[in-house]
């Protein structure tokens, strides 16, 4: 679809949390990382993915930076950032326990080890971290993802970094001024984790 004049980008509130986790679960269900983590495609898969995002969404809407995209009042996309200095969230459930429950002990340990390997040797990320970006499939191609990222960059006005396991997203981020600084095999070698950074002078 083309540019949609009815798109509104605004800061998310706690009232948006259920809609954000639902949209992210659907929008990112085919992401290589989530395909690897949640391979069983049954009727509960999207619910498990929504649970995976639940603590992050709550934390970053409350304490980080979160923007939502709406069209006709319906939430169709969201971007969640972790700015430097974002306070630790000690609320329960602990994300580590949640992952253990969702994946099981052995699978959870495999995921932790693969993340550690993929990030080993990567330059440290400076500035704000773009933790999650997702747009509903039926609203892609209208520039919503780019507008969500730009809204965060304009609010933060600091260096930023992001990691992606979807190869198609690398060009998307490069067009927004990010540069690739590290690549490593991920998800059991089924895809690549790419780290990109953006300084404050990028346009």
Backbone angles phi, psi at 40, to 5 degrees: -80, 115
SS3 at position 59 = helix
Domains assigned to the chain: 7-155 (3.40.630.30)
Where are the extended beta strands (E) located within the chain? 7-11, 65-71, 74-82, 128-135, 160-164, 179-186, 191-198
> Rounded to an integer, what distance in angstroms lies between the CA atom of residue 28 and that of residue 12?
19
82-135 pLDDT, tens digit each: 999 888 878 888 888 999 999 999 999 999 999 999 999 999 888 999 999 999
Global pTM value: 0.93
CA 71/CA 119 separation, integer angstroms: 36
Cα angle for residues 75, 92, 155 (degrees, 5° grid): 45
């Amino acid at each position: 679809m083309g540019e949609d004049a009815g798109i509104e980008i605004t800061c998310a509130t706690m009232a948006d949390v259920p809609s954000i986790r639902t949209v992210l679960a659907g929008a990112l269900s085919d992401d290589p990382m989530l395909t690897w983590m949640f391979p069983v495609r049954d009727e509960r898969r999207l619910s498990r993915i929504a649970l995976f995002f639940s603590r992050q969404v709550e934390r970053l809407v409350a304490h980080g930076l979160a923007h939502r995209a709406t069209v006709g009042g319906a939430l169709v996309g969201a971007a969640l950032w972790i700015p430097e200095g974002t306070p630790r969230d000690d609320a329960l459930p602990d994300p580590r326990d949640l992952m253990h429950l969702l994946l099981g002990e052995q699978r959870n340990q495999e995921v932790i080890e693969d993340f550690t390997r993929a990030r080993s040797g990567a330059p440290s990320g400076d500035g704000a971290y773009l933790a999650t970006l997702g747009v509903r499939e039926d609203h892609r191609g209208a520039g919503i993802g780019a507008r969500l990222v730009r809204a965060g960059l304009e609010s933060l006005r600091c260096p930023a970094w992001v990691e992606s396991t979807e190869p198609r997203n690398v060009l998307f981020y490069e067009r927004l001024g990010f540069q690739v600084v590290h690549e490593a095999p991920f998800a059991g070698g089924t895809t690549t984790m790419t780290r990109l950074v953006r300084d404050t002078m990028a346009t």
